[in-house]
Amino acid sequence: MKNKTLLALLAAASPLFANAHNLSVGSTLPAVNVSNYGEIVLKDGATEYQAWATKDLLGKVRVVQAIAGRSSSKELNAPLMAAITASKFSEDNYQTTTIINQDDAIWGTGSFVKSSAESSKEEFPWSSMVLDESGTVASSWALKEESSAIIVQDKQGKILFVKEGALNESEVTQVIELIKASL
């Protein structure tokens, strides 16, 4: 009898283990503000920071990539980022937003994470880059540590796709098709 109760409890809790985040297709992203660093902007050839909030994501179709401040996390979805770059979506209607959780970096590498984020903004000035020093976004959205989350949202902010971890080839194709259909 104990085994049946335990199995029923595990079965009921299994969705909690499958998706640790609190994001779901059809809903909107939980509101969050990042004031410790924030969005990286280019001004007169230099990088500066300004406060950022989820409300800033409205108005364009977006892929939000929320990653730990680790190169291994960035590499998890590099194939998707390459596919997006190759697709050359209109900057008027589409934007990638990368949110880097500096609080989830290997100890002692925080300054490297910051300079790498600034270099990425200089290399991809049309992308939105957010440096989250305190891990506010990851905490608010209940994201896994040392990982990468991909969220596709439409212009009104409705989530069309969400996954933590590496996307497989068919999921990369699905994301590209969702973007095209939403433009």
Residue 12 lies in a domain: no
Domain assignment present for 171: yes
Please tell me the distance from the alpha carbon of residue 44 to that of residue 101, in angstroms, as a whole number: 26
pLDDT of residue 10: 43
What whole-number distance in Å separates Cα of residue 57 and Cα of residue 54?
A: 6
Q: Which domain holds residue 75?
A: 22-182
Answer whether residue 82 is part of any domain.
yes
pLDDT 10s digits, 80-139: 999 999 999 999 999 999 999 999 988 888 889 999 999 999 998 999 999 999 999 999
Q: How far apart are the first and last CA of the chain?
A: 54
Q: Could you tell me the pTM of the whole model? A: 0.86
Give, to the nearest 10 degrees, the angle between helix 78-87 and helix 169-182.
40
Q: What is the pLDDT of residues 26-81, one digit of tens each?
A: 999 999 999 989 999 999 989 999 999 999 999 999 999 999 999 899 999 999 99
Residue 3: inside a domain: no
Q: Is residue 113 part of a domain?
A: yes
The pLDDT of residue 9 is: 42
pLDDT class for 183, splitting at 50, 70, 90? very high
The answer to whether residue 165 sits within a structural domain is yes
Our count of domains for the chain comes to 1
Report yes or no on 8 lying in a domain.
Answer: no
Neighbour-count burial for 52-86, b at 16+ CB within 10 Å, e otherwise: bebebbeebbbbbbbbbbbeebbebbeebbebbee
pLDDT of residue 20: 65
Q: Is residue 106 part of a domain?
A: yes
Per-residue pLDDT, 2: 54
Say how far apart CA 91 and CA 58 lie, in whole Å. Answer: 14
CATH assignment of the domain containing 163: 3.40.30.10
